[in-house]
Amino acid sequence: MMKLIHADIVYSEDRAHLAVHPDSYIAVEKGKVKGIWPVIPEEYRNVSVTDHSGGVLIPAFSDLHVHAPQYLNRGLEMDLLLEDWLSKCTFPLEAKYADPGFAKLVYDAFVDDMLANGTMHACVYGTIHSEATSYLIERMDKAGIKGFVGKINMDRSAPEDLLEDAEESVRETEALLEKYSGNKNTKPILTPRFAPTCTGKLLYDLGNLGKKYGVGMQTHLVESLWEAEQARVLFPECSCDTEIYEKAGLMDNGPVIGGHFIFPSEDDIRIMQKYDSYAVQCPDATVSVIAGIMQTGALLDRGMKIGLGSDISAGHHIGVYTQAARAVQLSKLKEFYEPEGNRKISFPEAFWMATKQSGDIFGATGSLEPGSVFDALVIDGLSDAARDLSPAQIVERFCYIGTKENIKARYINGKQI
Ligand SMILES: [Zn+2]
């Protein structure tokens, strides 16, 4: 049952520090980390060793905001801004998922590419279509990906072929909750797209479903100034975007994951922290489509939970490791242009957001400390002939210039894939 793996080992010790175990042995038993040692302990002398000498073993990444149906649009129409991008590029593609055969073709490629790029935990948006979303849940669950997948709910302000009526939307959502809530790895989550596309009736009915099934919610929160303003116009009884979901009872029942969170008011921040919710920074997406930068450093200093998202296809790269690098870059721009109250973040902080911090949503993932689920990657091929790099430097370089070709081995639930 037990195996030993030899490599340089790096994971987040805490928000500010990496734990580094050079040239060490990690013991994995029943899919979980048992311990890490510089030499093989006496009692494990006879255990077989998988040798990844020269490679760096790191935890697999978590993508907290990604749209599987938009996978086909990655790297396209990146010169549009949010409203045009939705109407001209994104909604027309999402309408095509009424065809389950089309969905299967895309979702197979999406899941394979996510795993190839080292993402083994994810919060994923589907479309309004139940059959296509069912396939995505089953496909991810079978692959062992710890995750949440949502059938999107929209009953206003979207093209005709993507609109549902509230009753139908709730009925279809409940059917998915009944069928898949007991899944081992990938489960359904409530996914009202964002406040401007949902009526109050739909949100309150989804809140009741959340209570009945003990299930959380993912949505887009204060993503743009337009969205924040629309939320106030459409829900005048609420002081901010986040309060709409609180009042509907959508924040009481499980993890709440709010994508983007770029323009929060003090009330948005207070409510998110009250429910221990996660905000998601999606660096590429906010540069390409949304045009705003999260106050990452300041929010982290206030104890806010923040993970990272590829946000395919507002973001163009499915590898969350690239977003860790981009989060550092954007925090520098934020500090430069708005020095008041903002600060740059360190690379260990960005890596922690992409692994340990966000991995907590899915159980004991995102780390290699004892007791963690062994979802891990071996990275290699990033050194220079003229100079040795430390294991921590290799991890940083991987996030900046690495590709999936640098991932030499992948383990999920303790098994190499
Ligand atoms: Zn999104």
Which structure tokens are listed for 57? 């073993």
pLDDT of residue 405: 98
Using the mean position of ligand 1's atoms as its centre, give its distance from the Cα of residue 389 in Å: 36
Fold of 61-362: TIM Barrel (3.20.20)
Give the DSSP letter string of 138-169.
HHHHHHT-EEEEE-EE--SSS-GGG---HHHH
Decide if 373 contacts 361 (C-beta within 8 A): no
Using the mean position of ligand 1's atoms as its centre, give its distance from the Cα of residue 313 in Å: 8
pLDDT of residue 83: 86
> Cβ–Cβ contacts within 10 Å for residue 109, how many?
13
| Beta-ladder partners of 146 | 121
Using the mean position of ligand 1's atoms as its centre, give its distance from the Cα of residue 221 in Å: 10
pLDDT of residue 122: 98
Beta strands 186-188 and 146-150: pairing type? parallel
Using the mean position of ligand 1's atoms as its centre, give its distance from the Cα of residue 318 in Å: 13
- Gap between the Cα atoms of 157 and 233, Å rounded: 14
Which structure tokens are listed for 180? 């898949």
Using the mean position of ligand 1's atoms as its centre, give its distance from the Cα of residue 3 in Å: 39
Using the mean position of ligand 1's atoms as its centre, give its distance from the Cα of residue 66 in Å: 6
pLDDT of residue 291: 80
Using the mean position of ligand 1's atoms as its centre, give its distance from the Cα of residue 311 in Å: 6
Say yes or no: do domains 2-59+367-416 and 61-362 share a fold.
no
Using the mean position of ligand 1's atoms as its centre, give its distance from the Cα of residue 300 in Å: 21
| Beta-ladder partners of 359 | none
Which CATH architecture fits 2-59+367-416?
Answer: Roll (2.30)
The domain segmentation of the chain, as residue ranges, is 2-59+367-416, 61-362
Using the mean position of ligand 1's atoms as its centre, give its distance from the Cα of residue 226 in Å: 15
pLDDT of residue 251: 98
pTM: predicted TM-score of the whole model, two decimal places:
0.98
Using the mean position of ligand 1's atoms as its centre, give its distance from the Cα of residue 364 in Å: 25
Dihedral sign (CA 232, 252, 151, 290): positive
Using the mean position of ligand 1's atoms as its centre, give its distance from the Cα of residue 295 in Å: 18
Using the mean position of ligand 1's atoms as its centre, give its distance from the Cα of residue 28 in Å: 36
Using the mean position of ligand 1's atoms as its centre, give its distance from the Cα of residue 297 in Å: 22
Name the nearest CA neighbour of 276 among 231, 307, 238.
Answer: 307
pLDDT of residue 66: 98
Using the mean position of ligand 1's atoms as its centre, give its distance from the Cα of residue 247 in Å: 22
Using the mean position of ligand 1's atoms as its centre, give its distance from the Cα of residue 4 in Å: 39
| Run of H or E residues at 65 | strand 61-67
pLDDT of residue 132: 98
- Gap between the Cα atoms of 88 and 86, Å rounded: 6
Using the mean position of ligand 1's atoms as its centre, give its distance from the Cα of residue 104 in Å: 21
pLDDT of residue 226: 86
Using the mean position of ligand 1's atoms as its centre, give its distance from the Cα of residue 310 in Å: 9
Name the nearest CA neighbour of 361 among 147, 199, 168, 154.
Answer: 147
pLDDT of residue 82: 87
Which structure tokens are listed for 280? 């998601």
Decide if 401 contacts 63 (C-beta within 8 A): no
Using the mean position of ligand 1's atoms as its centre, give its distance from the Cα of residue 302 in Å: 24
Using the mean position of ligand 1's atoms as its centre, give its distance from the Cα of residue 285 in Å: 9
pLDDT tens-digit readout, 302-346 = 999 999 999 999 999 999 999 999 999 999 999 999 999 999 999
- Gap between the Cα atoms of 231 and 222, Å rounded: 9
Decide if 199 contacts 157 (C-beta within 8 A): no
pLDDT tens-digit readout, 44-53 = 999 999 999 9
pLDDT of residue 252: 95
Using the mean position of ligand 1's atoms as its centre, give its distance from the Cα of residue 280 in Å: 10
Using the mean position of ligand 1's atoms as its centre, give its distance from the Cα of residue 359 in Å: 19
Residue numbers of the chain with a pLDDT score lower than 50? none
Using the mean position of ligand 1's atoms as its centre, give its distance from the Cα of residue 347 in Å: 24
